[in-house]
Amino acid sequence: MDAMFTTAAFASAEKMINAALAYDPATRIALSKLAPQVLAIKLTTPEMCIYVAPAVDGIKLLGHYEGDITTQVQGSAPALITLLKSERVNLKDSGVQVIGSTTFLAELQQILKKIDIDWEEMLSQIFGDIIGHQGAELIRSKMNWAKDRASNITRLTSEFVTEELQTLPSKAEVAFFNQQVDEIRLGVDRVEARINQLLQKNFQP
Amino acid sequence: MNEQKTTHFGYEQVAVEKKAERVADVFHSVAAKYDLMNDLMSAGVHRLWKRFTIEASAVRAGHKVLDIAGGTGDLSYQFAKLVGKDGQVILADINSSMLNVGRDRLIDRGVAGNIQFAQADAQYLPFPDNTFDCITIAFGLRNVTDKDLALRSMLRVLKPGGRLLVLEFSKPQHSLLEKVYDTYSFKLLPMIGKLVTNDADSYRYLAESIRMHPDQETLKSMMNDAGFVNTEFHNMTGGIVALHKGVKP
């Protein structure tokens, strides 16, 4: 694919993000303190690489970068999204690999979680105070709804699949099954050790 | 008989010592509306070409950058932000009109302190050896009389490990695109030039000079011959423009 397509896409996304960040000065200041570090996000599915560079006037989104990289995060898109939303600091079994400074990544994650764009100010400047206020109210309510949905959706889906469809076992059932498997494995180990001991005794000269 | 050395000025053959003068006339003529014409001619895509060049430059805080044929300062503006207060950017152009427009524009945009301006010929760069971390020349090399001499001059002033980026019109990689591009640049481009700057000839020269410029592989081998290593190029917009990169060993 011509490099210009990705360059154009990233340039547009960067412009939109920075236009929104202009209405969240706290985030912009926090991001500027992280410059000149660079985060490389290497997606395995779909295969692509995005470079995020915090700067004085917001962030830079690059599709091509040949300088030093502070941190590289590698994984599939769903795995990275899950990690971004979670509180976990351990990457074990997350499907995500991190190379370089994890401090920079944690700082960036904290800043992203605290983003609070002043939609009212932004819309007021375009449409005037009354429409701006109503528009901002609408965005706020939709965003709160989306946040609630996002936090509930994992729990609801899991309950539906286990309780209603009964296609998957519940967490407790899986834990009990694992415990039984462990006990059997230990039992087999003990029997093996006992047999070996008996064999040694019987065949000793 | 004393035979006079000639070179190309678009499709025209001119005496070597006359080319710089003729090129200067073109840019004196278009300087005032250079940015507007760039946007019109490329439908704004020149901004993406330059953005990609910045991305490939690996310039960071504290670096020294030379922007040759920097014209109205598009690249210098971005570099000045990247190198910060500890770095330095030099916007160089052989043409005083272009340099004046570039300087005014950068001052108007609040760029000062880490940028300097130099009226300089790319063939004889007036800087000490091993000075710059990065040199860019965007849409300028094709106007230089002796390109090999210019490349050697750039190599001399680059620090070892420093990189040269040449952004220049090149050869489209698809025959259909080449035909469309030819029609556009020889018929439509002079017409736009006539309408906006009342100067069709300068834009005819632009189209002709692009055709006379070495294609991707030729320029790459010229950079190798000059002494650059790890040379490579990226085609953009189907090869209409190419970014060549070389590193000083």
Whether A112 and A134 share a structural domain = no
Extract the runs of DSSP E, i.e. beta strands, from B94-219: 115-119, 132-138, 158-169
- Asked whether the beta carbons of residue A3 and residue B52 sit closer than 8 angstroms, the reply is yes
pLDDT of residue B159: 97
pLDDT exceeds 60 at position B184? yes
Coil, helix or strand for A61?
A: strand
Give A 14-53 residues with CB within 8 A of chain B. 36
pLDDT exceeds 60 at position B2? no
- Asked whether the beta carbons of residue A63 and residue B55 sit closer than 8 angstroms, the reply is yes
Query: What pLDDT, in 10s, does the model give residues B31-73?
Result: 667 777 777 777 788 889 999 999 999 898 899 999 999 888 8
In chain B, where the domains are located: 6-173+205-247
B117 forms beta bridges with: B91
Query: What pLDDT, in 10s, does the model give residues B125-168?
Result: 999 999 999 999 998 898 888 999 999 999 999 999 999 999 99
Whether A59 and A89 share a structural domain = yes
Report the pLDDT averaged over residues B177-183: 84
Query: What pLDDT, in 10s, does the model give residues A116-151?
Result: 777 767 677 677 777 777 777 777 777 777 766 666
- Structure tokens given for B143: 């106007």
Which residue, among A15, A49, A64, would best test binding to B if mutated, counting the most B CBs under 10 Å from its CB?
A: A64
Whether A158 and A88 share a structural domain = no
Query: What pLDDT, in 10s, does the model give residues A63-121?
Result: 888 888 999 988 888 888 777 666 666 677 777 888 888 888 888 888 887 777 777 67
Number of domains in chain A: 3
Whether A196 and A110 share a structural domain = no
- Least reliable range by pLDDT among A130-139, B66-75, B97-106, B209-218: A130-139
* Enclosing domain of residue A193: 169-205
Whether A99 and A161 share a structural domain = no
ipTM beyond cut 0.85 = no
Query: What is the rounded distance in angstroms from the CA atom of residue B209 to the CA atom of residue A92?
Result: 58
CATH class for domain B6-173+205-247?
A: alpha beta
Whether A45 and A92 share a structural domain = yes
Alpha-helical regions (H) of chain A: 3-21, 25-32, 77-85, 102-113, 119-127, 129-159, 171-202
Q: Tell me if B203 sits within 8 A of B190, measured CB to CB.
A: yes
pLDDT of residue B162: 96
Query: What is the rounded distance in angstroms from the CA atom of residue B102 to the CA atom of residue B70?
Result: 8
pLDDT of residue B3: 58
- Asked whether the beta carbons of residue A67 and residue B49 sit closer than 8 angstroms, the reply is no
CB atoms within 10 A of CB B60: 18
> Which residue of chain A is at minimal alpha-carbon distance from B81?
A56
